[in-house]
Structure 1
Amino acid sequence: MRNLQYYGGILMQRLHWLIFLTFLGAAAGLLIGRTMTPIYKADALLVVEGDSIPDQLASSTVQTDTNAKLQVIRKRVLSRDSLLDMAKRMSLYPTLRLPSGARDADAVYTALTHDIDITISSQKTSSNRDKEAIFLNISFLAGQPDQAAQVANELVTRVLKEDSDIRTKAARDTLDFFSREVDRLSDQLSKSAAAILRFKQENGAALPERLSLLRDQADRLQDEQAQLAAKVSDLEGQRDRLIRRHEVSGAKVDLDAIYPPPLRELARLKAQRAALQAVVPEEDAKLAALSAQIESATKALKVKMPAGADAFDQRLRQIEDEIFEAEAQTMATKEKVEQIHLDLSRIPANAASLDAMQRDQDNLREQYDRAIKSRAVAQTGDTIESLSKGERLTVIEQAVAPNEPVKPNRKTIAVAGLGAGFVLGLVLILVRELLKPGLRRPEDLTAKLGITPFATLPYVYTAADKAQRRRQRLMSSGAVVVVVFVFVILLGVLYMPIDLIF
């Protein structure tokens, strides 16, 4: 207890030095903080807003994950080319140059990445606990407050542009894709319809819908064949009876004389050609062959029909021509029946081909209908994005020039100077007392000389001693007052006006 009182008394005697060094340290801290280069930080805050139009009425075609989109935007804005372009346009870091005088691109890029901070954060909304509001905080550090705000706002502009570009490009790409898909499917549908039409035109006689008709025609032609066969037989019978009756009268019948064979052959060929023309197309090879035979027979013909024919000769020639026509019709009917049977045999294959082509066309039409609906949705989404009615970034707080720097922390430096001065004062007082020789307490006699005093006499100050002590106290007090006064002035000049502090 006595030691504490003794040291407390010493401290009180040297209190002016402690106060002096404490305020001196605080003033030094203020000066050091003021001389350090200030760094200002400007902040801007953006939020991701939801769609302005309810999804039940119309939805945007841009369905990207919000966090993923913000990460992409952040990477694009902080890309090397983007940052160097911004530094060049805004004349940032003009002192970072190579020995040649050119801008040091690597140093500028490194400085920008160090001074720019883009942070993505989320927060639960009060209206919906399960839904998070996503925020984007953009900050920039600079030596000038105006420059910090300008660069931060430039970054905000670039972020908003990237967000708009991503959404409008995605919506436009979606619309372009479905528009091309509609055009492609429409072209394929046209080709499919043309192919079906061409197939039906090429196989018109052997289409599935003609199956019943072809069968009826085949049955009818078979009946006609039987009738024609009976007609030929009847005409031949008429010819034979006519010849027999004529021979009964005593006249000899020479058919070659009445109807020369070359003329009969020419009549038979013409009858065949006339009958075939009714059942086969003009370009048929058989017709061409018959026409060539008729032309050759006509050129080679050297006989003429005998003159002076009586009624018997004319009737005989007529029956012969009718036989040729009936036989030609029989041949043409047989040709038609064979063609019908061929068409009937082709119908199953044609039906399978048509079914496959029709299925392909139905699939194409279904895809086309879906593409039309998707294109309509894409057009709505593109309109939503062009009008900025979809999910988008909006600015909550624009960056403004800060009033106070974030670095250095002058208050902390001043407090540190104040503490350092106080500690330095204590250390100096302690060191001075420890290094001061002499005996000042009865305890010193016992500790240093081993003598136990019986009594102690106080020091008697003379008038000169008292005057010297007054002068020392006055000088110390004056020094303390000067230091405090200087500290207050420095505080008002370097930190904050006195009227605002007090």
Structure 2
Amino acid sequence: METEFQLSDYVTILKKRWLFLLVPFVLLFGASIGVATLLPPLYQSTGVILIESPQISKEIVAGSVDSAARERIEVIKQRVMTRTNLIRVANEFGVFRGGDGKLSSTEIVSRMRSSSRVSFVSSGGGRGAQTIAFTVSFEHGSPQIAARVANEIVTLFMDENVKTRTKIATETTDFLNQEAQKLEDHLAEIESKIANYKQENASALPENLDIRIGIRERTENQIRETNREIKAHQEELRFLDIQLAALKSGLGQFNPPPVMLPFETDTSIETLDLANPELEALKAEYKTAKAKYAPSHPDLKYLSRQIEELEDQIIAEGGVSGTAVQIQRLEDERKAEEDAGNSARVTVLTAEIDALKESLRLAAMEGVDPRVLRQQQQASLAEEQAKVERERAKAELKLNVANVEAKIGVTNERIASLEEQKQALRDRLREVEQTILQTPLVDRALRSLNRDYENAQQKYNEVRAKAMEAQIAENVEEASKAERFVLVEPPTLPDEPIKPNRKKMVMMGFALSLAAGVAGIVGIEFIDGSIRGANMLTSVMMVEPLAIVPYIVTAQESRTRKRTRFLIALGGIVLVFAALGAIHVFYMPLDEVFYKVMARFT
């Protein structure tokens, strides 16, 4: 059965255990007052920086920095809060001068970063709220140092923003200019490739296809015309060959008449025919074949061998016929030597011919009658006249033969020239047809190169346009017409510290001290198992007491209690005065402490 405490029970417990309430309360409350009094003040100086929108519309000039404001501020914060900057600022403004001992550079950087604050100011409360400003603050025990350091950090933020934006704009412009230069070089390289390819395939360019087709048609027409001319000249050549053969056949008929030698018989004068019919027949056949065939023809060679064999046979038989054949051979040889220009040999041959003719004449005149001799002289005169006529006709016929041969030569040369021209035309036609066949391949290759050139040109135009935009954006950044940081509220000298809140600390110390005293009483009562009062006895024994006898305090106990209370009060007073004396002597005069404490709380 649980015991229910009455108000009188609580009063009784409080009277009995009041020291357990008083001691913790006094100690803890005094400690809280001491802590609130002795904690150094901490001042905060804050500057407000507005993120001002660009003065020139983005539709007119696009900015070179498109990152979010919060992200950009964080980047700037990392660049400002570098080890070098923080140590420089700390040393320049003596942030930790006069502190406890000499701090290492790592501790200085750590404390500087923990004392610096960057907070964002948004336009709304949602997730998509836009950052329109941010605050930069610095905390320090000295308001002057806090204001100076905060101003320096704000200046670093402002300068770093300008430097960063200008650097980004400059780097963007430089990068785009470099890319544009690379693309320009690439364009020049492609142009060079196209020019070289066109130069290498100048005869197969697609734009000249119609011209080459026209050239092919004209060349084919020229070939046909040349063929017609060749056929015409070949017909003329055949006619001239026939004419030449006829002339040469007529020329063969101008052989000298047979030498008729007179001799006297018993009844009349008869003549001897020195010509051999068989030899004359072979020579006539040879001349006819020579007009038909080439010099290397087998029939001509065969007839020439037969004539030589027959002449050798006649010469071997001797007589006037042999002498006449020998004279004919020497005359042919003399003619050949004359053509060769060998005058010495011609002279020798002429002498031999004259000797043979003289011997032949003497042999013919032996025993000839004078009348026969006169007839012979008349016949010789007539023969001389006939011979002159024959020579004239023969010369005229030779002239005609030479003219025909000259025409044949000219015709042959013309045919050869036409054949060369036709071959040149065929070679040209072959080249033109080859270039026409190569035109689709060249066209495809040129299309590929032109497509590459157009793509590179398009990229170059895009990059060049972006480079111009970047240059304008850089000019805008340099003129401070783009998005910028504006110091709306510079850091000022703080009037009051932001912490500690001394009044709040004293109030919290009072509440905690009182709670500690009550907790002490409750703990002691929980540990102590004594029975207090009739109600507790009844709940424990389950029996109502017959009578309640109150505690009777004797005079001795009363005096003892009073003396104890007096000693405790006296000890407390002595302890307070001793503490005040120690503070006055060893720490600070009490009047200064009083004013300082009042200044701390006010």
TM-score (norm 2): 0.54
Contact 1:118 1:138 in 2 (8 A): yes
Q: Which of 231, 241, 244 is matched with 1:243 structurally?
A: 241
- Give the 3-state SS of the residue equivalent to 1:124 in structure 2: coil
Aligned in 2, Cα 1:417/1:489: closer, same or farther, shift over 3 Å?
farther
Matched, 1:63 2:66: yes
Matched, 1:338 2:426: no
Q: Which of 134, 139, 142 is matched with 2:140 structurally?
A: 142
Which amino acid is the alignment partner of residue 437 of structure 2?
S
Contact 1:40 1:406 in 2 (8 A): yes
Alpha-carbon displacement from aligned partner over 1:420-477 (angstroms, at most 9, x marks no partner) = 9999xxxxxxxxxxxxxxxxxxxxxx954499xxxxxxxxxxxxxxxxxxxxxxxxxx
Matched, 1:356 2:359: no
Contact 1:27 1:490 in 2 (8 A): no
Aligned in 2, Cα 1:235/1:227: closer, same or farther, shift over 3 Å?
same
1:13 paired residue number: none
Matched, 1:218 2:216: yes
Contact 1:96 1:104 in 2 (8 A): no
Which amino acid is the alignment partner of residue 76 of structure 1?
R
Q: How far apart, in 1, do the equivalents of 2:216 and 2:50 lie?
A: 82
Aligned in 2, Cα 1:44/1:248: closer, same or farther, shift over 3 Å?
same
Aligned in 2, Cα 1:364/1:420: closer, same or farther, shift over 3 Å?
closer
Aligned in 2, Cα 1:491/1:234: closer, same or farther, shift over 3 Å?
same
**How far 1:168 moved relative to its partner?**
1.8
Matched, 1:92 2:66: no
2:78 paired residue number: 75
Aligned residues: 373
Contact 1:30 1:495 in 2 (8 A): no
- Give the 3-state SS of the residue equivalent to 1:404 in structure 2: coil
Contact 2:93 2:145 in 1 (8 A): no
Contact 1:62 1:381 in 2 (8 A): no
Which amino acid is the alignment partner of residue 324 of structure 1?
A
Aligned in 2, Cα 1:55/1:388: closer, same or farther, shift over 3 Å?
same
2:117 paired residue number: 117
Matches within 5 A, 1:226-305: 226-249=224-247, 250-251=250-251
**How far 1:164 moved relative to its partner?**
1.9
**How far 1:356 moved relative to its partner?**
0.8
1:442 paired residue number: none
Alpha-carbon displacement from aligned partner over 1:55-90 (angstroms, at most 9, x marks no partner) = 232221211111211222223333434423433444
Contact 1:124 1:132 in 2 (8 A): yes
- Give the 3-state SS of the residue equivalent to 1:321 in structure 2: helix
Q: How far apart, in 1, do the equivalents of 2:509 and 2:67 lie?
A: 54
Aligned in 2, Cα 1:489/1:316: closer, same or farther, shift over 3 Å?
closer
Q: Which of 205, 208, 218 is matched with 1:207 structurally?
A: 205
2:562 paired residue number: none
Aligned in 2, Cα 1:328/1:97: closer, same or farther, shift over 3 Å?
farther
Aligned in 2, Cα 1:415/1:247: closer, same or farther, shift over 3 Å?
closer
**How far 1:239 moved relative to its partner?**
2.2
- Give the 3-state SS of the residue equivalent to 2:480 in structure 1: coil
Alpha-carbon displacement from aligned partner over 1:113-150 (angstroms, at most 9, x marks no partner) = 2212222231339xx99864432222212222111111
- Give the 3-state SS of the residue equivalent to 1:315 in structure 2: helix
2:464 paired residue number: 372
Q: How far apart, in 1, do the equivalents of 2:33 and 2:594 lie?
A: 7
Matched, 1:183 2:181: yes
Matched, 1:402 2:505: no
1:151 paired residue number: 149
Contact 1:27 1:487 in 2 (8 A): no
Aligned in 2, Cα 1:418/1:216: closer, same or farther, shift over 3 Å?
closer
Q: How far apart, in 2, do the equivalents of 1:65 and 1:202 lie?
A: 56
Aligned in 2, Cα 1:420/1:333: closer, same or farther, shift over 3 Å?
closer
Contact 2:47 2:150 in 1 (8 A): yes
Q: How far apart, in 2, do the equivalents of 1:449 and 1:31 lie?
A: 44
Matches within 5 A, 1:162-173: 162-173=160-171
Which amino acid is the alignment partner of residue 109 of structure 1?
V
Contact 1:30 1:491 in 2 (8 A): no
Aligned in 2, Cα 1:396/1:491: closer, same or farther, shift over 3 Å?
farther
- Give the 3-state SS of the residue equivalent to 2:193 in structure 1: helix
Q: How far apart, in 1, do the equivalents of 2:507 and 2:594 lie?
A: 12
Which amino acid is the alignment partner of residue 241 of structure 2?
I
Q: How far apart, in 2, do the equivalents of 1:320 and 1:393 lie?
A: 102
**How far 1:395 moved relative to its partner?**
1.3
Matched, 1:196 2:194: yes
Which amino acid is the alignment partner of residue 406 of structure 2?
Q
Q: In percent, how many aligned pairs have the same letter?
A: 22
Aligned in 2, Cα 1:208/1:247: closer, same or farther, shift over 3 Å?
same
Aligned in 2, Cα 1:97/1:194: closer, same or farther, shift over 3 Å?
farther
Contact 1:26 1:417 in 2 (8 A): yes
Aligned in 2, Cα 1:248/1:43: closer, same or farther, shift over 3 Å?
same
**How far 1:339 moved relative to its partner?**
0.7
Q: How far apart, in 2, do the equivalents of 1:449 and 1:96 lie?
A: 64
- Give the 3-state SS of the residue equivalent to 2:222 in structure 1: helix
Alpha-carbon displacement from aligned partner over 1:165-197 (angstroms, at most 9, x marks no partner) = 332222222212221222122222222122112
Matches within 5 A, 1:317-336: 317-336=409-428
Which amino acid is the alignment partner of residue 57 of structure 1?
I
Which amino acid is the alignment partner of residue 117 of structure 1?
R
Q: How far apart, in 2, do the equivalents of 1:317 and 1:203 lie?
A: 43
Residue ranges of structure 2 left out of the alignment (5+ in a row): 1-6, 12-25, 253-286, 292-338, 341-397, 516-548, 555-576, 578-588
TM-score (norm 1): 0.63
- Give the 3-state SS of the residue equivalent to 2:123 in structure 1: strand
**How far 1:397 moved relative to its partner?**
1.3
Q: Which structure is larger by alpha-carbon Rg, 1 or 2? A: 2
2:54 paired residue number: 51
1:289 paired residue number: none
Alpha-carbon displacement from aligned partner over 1:250-306 (angstroms, at most 9, x marks no partner) = 247989xxxxxxxxxxxxxxxxxxxxxxxxxxxxxxxxxxxxxxxxxxxxxxx99xx
